[in-house]
Amino acid sequence: MPKDFGLAMDPLTPESVSKALGRPWKETAFDCHATSLGIIRSGVIPTSYKPRVARGWCTGVGSQHSWIVLGGDCYDEKAMVIDATLWSYDDHVKGVYHGEARNRPHRPHGSGSIWDYGQPPAATEEPIHLATEDKLSDGALLFLGMAGYPFDFKGWTVLAHAPVQHWPAGEVFAAMADTPRLNFLVPIDILGMTTDRNPNELYW
């Protein structure tokens, strides 16, 4: 990585990516998720950098996009982003893109503050309790209580699509994933980026 980001390893190049993936560089064009995941699985980025695949939106890409975030927090705006396929969407990018997430920016799905989004509506139908409520931290329980827990199905649906920053989203989403009546509400990208789970092994 560039030395001004305080990282010891060399920056990735088309040659190092091609070697890591075992295929020509040009074949990675527009293949953002598989390329990002393949780089992580190859081991070319030391695990000490906690690389993860993020998915969302990026300036210069006209559709959903995937990239690598270092540090384990996909929502850290100061985190180092490694985007090995941005060049195929933006002619101004040469080689492998390295930069802070906020630069272009790279914005994962779920970015934003829940405090600007609003709380789920009060329950008007049968409330649904989390199956693993007893395992939640005091912070998660406090947040849920402030938000009006327990929610009915409509309330949980609203919460499942709320921005994930500034509340214990990963902990709550993991509990939702463990609750049979709610597990299908949590988008797979959000579960993969906010928790220590790796649904379908698509995030590291």
Question: Read out DSSP for 169-198?
Answer: HHHHHHHHHTSTTTGGGS-HHHHHHHSS--
Tally Cβ neighbours within 10 Å of residue 30. 11
- Is residue 5's pLDDT more than 80? no
Q: Are residues 123 and 87 in the same domain?
A: no
Q: What is the mean pLDDT of the chain?
A: 95
Q: Are residues 39 and 131 in the same domain?
A: no
pLDDT single digits (tens) 122-151? 999 999 999 999 999 999 999 999 999 999
Q: Where is the domain boundary, 85, 108, 131?
A: 108
**Domain range spanning residue 178?**
114-186
- Is residue 69's pLDDT more than 80? yes
Does the pTM of the predicted model rise above 0.75? yes
Q: Where is the domain boundary, 92, 108, 124?
A: 108
Q: Locate tokens 């579960």: which residue?
A: 191
pLDDT single digits (tens) 94-107? 999 999 999 999 99
Q: Are residues 61 and 45 in the same domain?
A: yes
Q: Are residues 171 and 97 in the same domain?
A: no
Predicted local distance difference test score (pLDDT) of residue 158 = 97
Q: Are residues 31 and 100 in the same domain?
A: yes
- Is residue 10's pLDDT more than 90? no
Q: Are residues 147 and 82 in the same domain?
A: no
Please tell me whether residue 54 adopts helix, strand or coil conformation.
Answer: strand
In 3D space, the residue among 73, 119, 76, 132 whose CA is nearest the CA of residue 100 turns out to be 76
Tell me the sheet residues that pair with 151: 128
* Cα–Cα distance, 192 to 82 (Å, whole number): 18
Helix, strand, coil fractions of the chain, as percent rounded to 5: 40, 15, 50
- Is residue 195's pLDDT more than 80? yes
In a domain, 51, yes or no: yes
- Is residue 2's pLDDT more than 60? no
Q: Are residues 13 and 102 in the same domain?
A: yes
* Cα–Cα distance, 178 to 199 (Å, whole number): 13
35 CB burial (10 A radius; 0-12, 13-18, 19+): buried
User: Under a CB-based contact definition with an 8 Å cutoff, are residues 110 and 169 in contact?
Assistant: yes
In a domain, 200, yes or no: no
Please tell me whether residue 69 adopts helix, strand or coil conformation.
Answer: strand
**CA torsion through residues 102, 108, 113, 116, sign:** positive
Predicted local distance difference test score (pLDDT) of residue 148 = 96
- Range 169-191 average pLDDT: 97
Predicted local distance difference test score (pLDDT) of residue 78 = 96
Could you give the number of structural domains in the chain?
2
Concatenated DSSP letters for 121-182?
A: PPP-S--B--TTGGGS-HHHHHHHHHHTSSB-HHHHHHHHTS--BTTTHHHHHHHHHTSTTT
- Is residue 1's pLDDT more than 70? no
Assigned token pair, 2: 């560039």
* Cα–Cα distance, 184 to 151 (Å, whole number): 16
